[in-house]
Chain A
Amino acid sequence: MLNKIYDWVDERLDITPIWRDIADHEVPEHVNPAHHFSAFIYCFGGLTFFVTVIQILSGMFLTMYYTPDIENAWKSVFYLQNDVAFGELVRGMHHWGASLVIVMMFLHTLRVFFTGSYKKPRELNWIVGVMIFGVMMGLGFTGYLLPWDMKALFATKVGIEIAASVPFIGEQIKILLAGDSTILGAQTLTRFFAIHVFFLPAALLGLLAAHFIMIRRQGISGPL
């Protein structure tokens, strides 16, 4: 039955090559922890992606309760944390995942750096990787404000002041992020919500796609 469905689709869309590009390849010995335990360092990138997927899923569930408005944001998080079934678990996964993704990404960066894997022909993939690093930091920064508790508000104040100290365009960046040149309030919260939930994830997915396509194109770097 499944084969028939597959054949039906394949006859029309020729999906076999796509499937082969995604999944049908060999994993060389030097990156396989089953053969060399020290090859576990090659797992960090995959684990970063794994945590990213968890972040996307748990974030989707969080938005079912979260309200991005200064009156209700904190209350909705408090309710989610204390009254919603498994709310504490889902928020906890998103909270700890945010730290884990930074840790895993950092380890992955160090692995790529110390194995010299960014060298020709993989320069472009390294640049995309560093851009993903930047986007992740942005996600961490914008996500910190959303619970609208004391540490969120005051850490964001500091962060916005840092952004405002950029020469020449600092003031414009500040207004873009905060929605106002002096007030950090309702506008800031909705903007950070939009950036955290729509803009940066969109950028992240695009960059991840580029990252993975390039890996499949070039293959993983050879043994040292």
Chain B
Amino acid sequence: MHRGKGMKFVGDSRIKATNKMPNTPKDYSEYPGKTEAFWPNFLLKEWMIGAIFLIGYLIVTLAHPSPLERQADPTDTMYIPVPDWYFLFMYQLLKYEFASGPYNVIGAIIIPGLAFMALMLVPFTDTTKERRPFKRPLPTGFMILSFLAMFYLTWESVVNHDWEAAKVQGAIVDEVEFDETAEGYEIYQGSSCIGCHGDSFQGGLGLPLTNTGMTADEIIEIAHDGRGSMPPGTWEGSDEDLQVLAEFIEGLNTD
């Protein structure tokens, strides 16, 4: 057998000169039309498409820095989780009655499992020689249906999620330095506020009280009347103390 550069190749190197593999498809040169050498002609064109793609990719990356929420806090029981967008259809599926609670296994395992197995076994369920999509309506129809179902579920999940609330609940809270011996902080420690708003105003069940952008009067009003999930009438101390505390909170700014 010849070694090195003296070796003879016939057409494609994977085909031996004498016994052509019975199961290989036709050699490319047997296709009608203009074939092109992969190396280097075609690869150069691919390189150009890759470069254009990379430019778009970099523009997206620069225009939208990747998100980072605040550090994980396992004690926060109010956080509403949401997966990355490509899992949203499964997330949505698990919200339906027939696929959650006692039937959770249907939505979590059986439906996705069946879909995945069906996809994997397509070559053995669609065994005809026909390749054109319109000539094999069943596989084409099933694929379009599954695509529409995934699209619909993702859509439903996106429109039903409160993205504003999601942004607030995950936002990184800047720690504000404050004087722990101040009168305002002493009042805060003695009140029920600290239970929900945290010992350094970082939030918890309630929102953070730093950088609120509110005036003392607005803060007093919320303390009396409540807002959102905060019930009215939570302030139980005197009006004078509340005034001091509200002014203290007003001053809790990073800059």
Residues of A within 8 A of B (CB): 7, 10-11, 14, 16-17, 20-21, 23-30, 32-35, 43, 46-47, 50-51, 54, 70, 74-75, 77-78, 81, 88-89, 91-100, 102, 110, 113-123, 126-127, 130-131, 133-134, 137, 140-141, 144, 147-155, 157-159, 162, 165-167, 184-185, 216-219, 221-224
Contact, CB under 8 Å: B104 / A165: yes
- 7 A-B pairs with C-beta separation under 8 A: A27-B42, A28-B35, A114-B143, A116-B132, A119-B127, A217-B14, A217-B24
Tell whether A17 pairs with B13 under 8 Å between CB atoms, given A30-B33, A97-B57. Answer: yes
Contact, CB under 8 Å: B105 / A165: yes
Contact, CB under 8 Å: B123 / A155: no
Most B Cβ at <10 Å: residue of A30, A77, A98, A219:
A219
Other-chain contact of A151, B74, B120, B170 (Cβ < 8 Å)? B170
Bound CA–CA A70/B36 (angstroms): 54
Chain B residues with Cβ below 8 Å from A118 are 122-123
Bound CA–CA A26/B82 (angstroms): 47
| Complex interface: stretch among B45-53, B186-194, B208-216, B244-252 | B45-53
Bound CA–CA A99/B161 (angstroms): 20
Closest residue on chain A to residue B128 by CB atoms: A119
Main secondary structure on A side of the interface with B: helix
* B126 at interface, CB cutoff 8 A: yes
Closest residue on chain A to residue B117 by CB atoms: A130
Chain A residues with Cβ below 8 Å from B68 are 74, 77-78, 81, 147, 149
Residues of B within 8 A of A (CB): 3-5, 7, 9, 12-14, 23-29, 31-39, 42-43, 45-46, 49-50, 53-54, 57-58, 60-62, 64-74, 76, 79-87, 90-91, 94, 104-105, 108-109, 116, 119-120, 122-124, 126-133, 136, 139-140, 143, 147, 169-170
Closest residue on chain A to residue B80 by CB atoms: A154
Bound CA–CA A150/B72 (angstroms): 4
Contact, CB under 8 Å: A16 / B5: yes
B72 to chain A minimum Cβ distance, whole angstroms, is: 4
Bound CA–CA A26/B41 (angstroms): 10
Contact, CB under 8 Å: A127 / B120: yes
Contact, CB under 8 Å: B31 / A223: yes
Bound CA–CA A148/B34 (angstroms): 53
Contact, CB under 8 Å: A24 / B79: no
Contact, CB under 8 Å: B132 / A149: no
Other-chain contact of B129, A7, A95, A119 (Cβ < 8 Å)? A119
